[in-house]
Amino acid sequence: MEIWQSIPDYESAYEVSSYGRVRSIDKLVKSGLRHNREVERRGKILKQNMKRNGYMTVDLSSENRVRTSTVHRIVAKVFIPNTENKPQVNHKNGNKSDNRVENLEWVTAKENMVHRYTTLGHIGKRKPVICIETSETHGSSYEAATWLNSTRYSGSRQVMSLSRKIRQCCINERKIAYGFHWKYTD
């Protein structure tokens, strides 16, 4: 059963559901040439937009200011207690547009990263890469970054940063990453 709750800081204007939908609520607004009439404006389900990173967002307005908010964080704040004060919200099934309460959980940055790479196998981005100079093939940019970190940098570099730069080489956003040329094997 879908449950609706008020959104903090927008209690008189918006609600979010346990299914991840956001709606405006019914309200009286001033109308007419001199704003001397009150008319009831019916609430409606808000359109959600997908950001480039895959997260769903909605625009919420208050006092003539519009703020774009991610739906998964709204749902988590309203429905999921964060007793340990964890900073991030994880999608358990890896689908960033599935914002149902049962698919979300509060996590640390490390827990989120471990979930992404171990449980989900880095869904949608796990492509084998090859280092042109060494001809070594790796199962993903993350595995290549782990190899690079252990063989070249004695574990002193951030693997996620290495991985991102290797992926950027593979999609031609940069020519070289840490002295090597990289490309996808497919």
Please tell me whether residues 68 and 133 are part of one structural domain.
no
pTM score, two decimals? 0.63
Please tell me whether residues 170 and 136 are part of one structural domain.
yes
pLDDT for the residue numbered 81: 97
Please tell me whether residues 133 and 168 are part of one structural domain.
yes
Q: 124 in a domain, yes or no?
A: no
The ranges of the chain with pLDDT < 50 are none
Count of domains for the chain: 2
Please tell me whether residues 13 and 105 are part of one structural domain.
yes
pLDDT for the residue numbered 89: 97
Please tell me whether residues 104 and 47 are part of one structural domain.
yes
pLDDT for the residue numbered 160: 77
Residue 149 Cα distances to 21, 67, 128, 167, 176, angstroms: 42, 40, 17, 15, 16
Q: 100 in a domain, yes or no?
A: yes
pLDDT for the residue numbered 161: 80
- pLDDT, one tens digit per residue, over 40-56 is 888 899 999 998 788 99
Per the structure, the complete domain to which residue 85 belongs is given by: 4-119
Q: 163 in a domain, yes or no?
A: yes
Distance (Å, rounded) from C-alpha 6 to C-alpha 24?
10
pLDDT for the residue numbered 107: 96
Q: 48 in a domain, yes or no?
A: yes
- pLDDT, one tens digit per residue, over 133-155 is 999 999 888 888 888 888 877 66
